[in-house]
Chain A
Amino acid sequence: MPDDQSAIMVAAPQDTVETATIIMRGIIKRFPGVVANDGANLEVRKGEIHALLGENGAGKTTLMNVLYGIYHPDEGEIWVDGQRAAIHSPQDAIRLGIGMIHQQFRLVQTHSVTENVILGLKESFFFPERAARKRILELTEKYGMKVDPDARIWQLSAGEQQRVEILKALYRGAKILILDEPTSMLTPGETKDLLNTLRRMTAEGHTVVFITHKLEEVIEASDRVTVLRQGKVIATLETAATGESKLAQLMVGREVLFHLDKKQVDTGPVVLEIDKLSALNDKGMTAVVDLSLEVHAGEILGIAGVAGNGQRELVEAITGLRDATGGRIAVNGQDITHVPPRARIERGVCCVPGERWTALIPGMSIADNLILKNYLQPPIGRGLFLDRAAIAAYADGLIKDYAIMTPDRRTPIKMLSGGNIQRALLAREIACQPALLIAAHPTSGLDVGATETIWQLLLAERERGTAVLLISEDLEETLSLSDRVAVIFEGQIMGLFPAKDANLEQISLMMAGALRLPVRSTLRQAQGSAYLAGEPA
């Protein structure tokens, strides 16, 4: 990618100092077990809207938290308006004219908009209510943000609350505004309003950096875009000179890291059958729409897609943590659509959820974590009691078989490295000999070595004859592991095809919602016909 290489080189202070308002060079930020930013370079020009694009865990938010002084980088330099900046706290950042709007709003629910905006300011001893109110009205007028300064926060929609956060930053004199996934909570209409406001702000000389993983927003709103992957900046591009599929490729990466030894496995009968499933997300908005899928014994079905397109809701509907609002789910021919989670576990539905800590108990020992799914059955559970000798034997066995690196089984699981935690989690789920194994983002945040062992474990399950539903944002992972791949967009399957026939460009378009193939949910149909018959929508 020669054009990308040149793009990385832009952050050289001497020749960009006139146009660049922010330069971040060689930023390295390590967390226990992970390198969140690995030598990231970023250059933001004055008066532009700059998109920061990347998958979950690519290091976008970390990089911005470094800029806003929430994290202190282990290495690297920051320049603001040509000056070397030492930003130790958000107060320092605010002093430099940087404001950040977090994904989770930090507002006092029972206070008014005005009170929230001036909260914490030390302008005068008395509460400067009237002056503040006037200034807020000026700002809302100027940037086209509709907010009632006297409304209480709890009365406001997510979009309005976000405007209050923006007002807070502007009120403090922010010239550079960082927004973390600003549209994730917004309705389409509110998104449009927000983008308008941002454009008006840049017209007034403000600079905007927004974090996103939505390609269409990058194209629609940004002047330039920086793509991050695994903590590294992959490219900085003029938005006008690029397109959604190109960005998708940069975002998910294209090279295959390992050559996987995938054995030929004869697929068996249908294990998981999903028929016209619908489900809502936590905010009560539609997340999964009339989705149909079949997963057979001995196959891995991969679901590719950008995060937040209904993957989590789909998984939770299958495991019973979320009610299906329509449709039917069956495992081995038995309807499980409305049975409780425990009954699904007993029917062989095992799951490695995307948010690891929802399936583990951080403060409890590895042994106690390993028995979470089978503590009721002998030999672990006997009558009312737990058999401690059986637990020890069982845990030690899994620790050995799955090469979980730990001092011993009594160590709290939160003490392990990310790879070992994930291995323990997968070991537990596999040890139950599932009929259906759901693995959501099984390798996110893991290093190369840990990733490979997780992949081997999933392939071994496939050979054992388990139906595996793989959900991943990592296209490379999905394509190399899966037998068939489905692309999900806004809770719908945009296309379903054998992994060996995958066409990266078409997948990118499907991930962006720009292409939809005629749906063939069954294996026979998909194998029987060429899938490339679809036309761009």
Chain B
Amino acid sequence: MKIPRLRFERRLSSPQWLQVAALVVSLLLAMLTIAVIFYALGVNPLIAFQRIFRGGFGSVYGLKETVTKSIPLMLAGVGLTLAFKGRMYNIGAEGQLFMGAIVASGLALEFSEWPAYILLPVMFLGGFLGGALWAAIPAILKARFRVDEVLTSLMLVYVASDAVKYLVYGPWRGTDTRGFPITDEFSAAAQLPRLIDSRIHYPTLILALLLAVLIYLLVARTKLGYEIRVTGENPDAARYAGMNYQKIALLVMLISGGLAGLAGVGEVAGIHFRMRPPEGISPGYGFTAIIVAWLARLNPLAAILTAFLLGGLLVGGDAIQIALNLPAATVHVFNGVILLFVIAGELFTRYRIRLEF
């Protein structure tokens, strides 16, 4: 008896419609899988989906929260589109976000007397540098010693996270926090303005939108962007054309780390007004940003939209946690399932798959 087998044939081209179709089908299958998980948890999947949607997008409050959460996702996600384009698989945006938060908090606490128009820009600048330098470590290890940046950037997340813990439990613990592991509240000058009746710290949002456009222009229109695209698609050709691989690897990592750092600044200066333990600052924005970048097919402008969608999912996830009494990790399961299906779906755009008998 012959057993039917799958045969993979490389496609010469992958038309636009196929890429869109693969994405849509992947998302539908991801939803289906999530539905099974809900069912197993004893929740009616349709009700759960409805609650998620309503939570994230179905009310003014929900939308405001969704925009709020999309800010760090957008910043980190846009940065990652650039890194991934240059074939640097930066998985550590979460850690770079923490480093941005640390530097910004340090500046806010140290120079609390400074006026806002100096202090806030300095915090953003410092946060960018903090994230960028944190990302430079895996970049240099990769460019110099060919150490896999996936591992190093991921491991550095835990180092950064522990650094945050050390600071809030130790030297930075506030004087009027009744023992909680948090810093004192930043001075008013270090607090970002918000839209009325919301937590939307709009300067960061504007910065994120601006950077998305800038990164798009960088990739599409500049010499450097061209070098990044060539290096990402074919490092051999880049070398052959005399491009400096090490420079490009370092640069895309610095920028992507810097943007994640800015996301960290936004969280401490726009949401919390202080430094908290790591899980208080970020519910995994840096990791969710990977999905943001991938869903956007590495297009920084599309990342604005995907950041908004995933922000809504986070808010909706919070809503069902409370309403349907589900564990807090449910949202992370969603994210994982979605990423898995989206990446697996790409296979269909690159290969033609046949069943052979």
Q: Say yes or no for B346: interface residue by CB 8 A criterion.
A: no
B234's contact among A321, A361, A415, by CB below 8 Å, is which?
A361
A385's contact among B223, B236, B237, by CB below 8 Å, is which?
B223
Interface residues of B in 224-242 (CB under 8 A from A): 224-226, 229-230, 233-234, 236-237, 239-242
Q: Say yes or no for B221: interface residue by CB 8 A criterion.
A: yes
In the bound complex, how far is the Cα of B234 from the Cα of A31, in angstroms? 23
Chain B residues with CB under 8 A of A414: 12-13
Closest CB in chain A relative to B298 CB, distance in Å: 12
Q: Say yes or no for A364: interface residue by CB 8 A criterion.
A: yes
Closest CB in chain B relative to A410 CB, distance in Å: 12
Q: Say yes or no for B222: interface residue by CB 8 A criterion.
A: yes
**Inter-chain contact A372/B237, CB cutoff 8 Å:** yes
Closest CB in chain B relative to A109 CB, distance in Å: 16
Q: Say yes or no for A299: interface residue by CB 8 A criterion.
A: no
Closest CB in chain A relative to B3 CB, distance in Å: 10
Interface residues of A in 284-343 (CB under 8 A from B): 319-321, 340-343
**Inter-chain contact B240/A359, CB cutoff 8 Å:** yes
Given A345-B242, A385-B221, A360 and B226 contact (CB-CB distance below 8 Å) = no
Q: Say yes or no for B5: interface residue by CB 8 A criterion.
A: yes
Given A372-B230, A376-B223, A89 and B13 contact (CB-CB distance below 8 Å) = no
**Inter-chain contact A360/B237, CB cutoff 8 Å:** yes
Chain A residues with CB under 8 A of B224: 384
**Inter-chain contact A388/B13, CB cutoff 8 Å:** no
Chain A residues with CB under 8 A of B236: 357-359
Chain A residues with CB under 8 A of B221: 385-386, 388
Interface code A353-379, partner B: CB below 8 Å = 1, 0 otherwise?
100011111111000100111011000
Q: Say yes or no for A32: interface residue by CB 8 A criterion.
A: yes
B237's contact among A345, A359, A376, A415, by CB below 8 Å, is which?
A359
Closest CB in chain A relative to B147 CB, distance in Å: 18
B223's contact among A340, A358, A359, A375, by CB below 8 Å, is which?
A375
Residue of A nearest to B218 (CB): A384
Chain A residues with CB under 8 A of B243: 342
Interface footprint category on B: 20 to 34
Interface code A67-110, partner B: CB below 8 Å = 1, 0 otherwise?
00000000000000000000011000000000000000000000
**Inter-chain contact A358/B241, CB cutoff 8 Å:** no
Residue of B nearest to A351 (CB): B240
**Inter-chain contact B222/A385, CB cutoff 8 Å:** yes
Interface code A236-274, partner B: CB below 8 Å = 1, 0 otherwise?
000000000000000000000000000000000000000
A384's contact among B5, B223, B239, by CB below 8 Å, is which?
B223
**Inter-chain contact B240/A415, CB cutoff 8 Å:** no
Residue of B nearest to A92 (CB): B2
Q: Say yes or no for A13: interface residue by CB 8 A criterion.
A: no
Chain B residues with CB under 8 A of A345: 241-242
Closest CB in chain B relative to A261 CB, distance in Å: 32
Mind listing 21 A-B residue pairs with CB under 8 Å? A32-B12, A88-B356, A89-B5, A320-B242, A341-B242, A345-B242, A357-B234, A357-B236, A358-B236, A358-B240, A361-B233, A361-B234, A361-B237, A362-B234, A372-B241, A384-B224, A385-B222, A386-B221, A386-B222, A386-B223, A414-B13
Beyond A373-B241, A386-B225, list 10 extra A-B contacts (CB 8 Å). Answer: A321-B240, A341-B239, A342-B243, A358-B237, A359-B236, A361-B229, A361-B230, A362-B234, A372-B230, A386-B222
Interface residues of B (CB under 8 A from A): 5, 12-13, 221-226, 229-230, 233-234, 236-237, 239-243, 356
Interface residues of A (CB under 8 A from B): 32, 88-89, 319-321, 340-345, 351, 353, 357-364, 368, 371-373, 375-376, 381, 384-386, 388, 412, 414-415
CB-CB nearest 7 A-B residue pairs: A342-B242, A341-B242, A358-B236, A361-B233, A361-B234, A372-B241, A381-B223
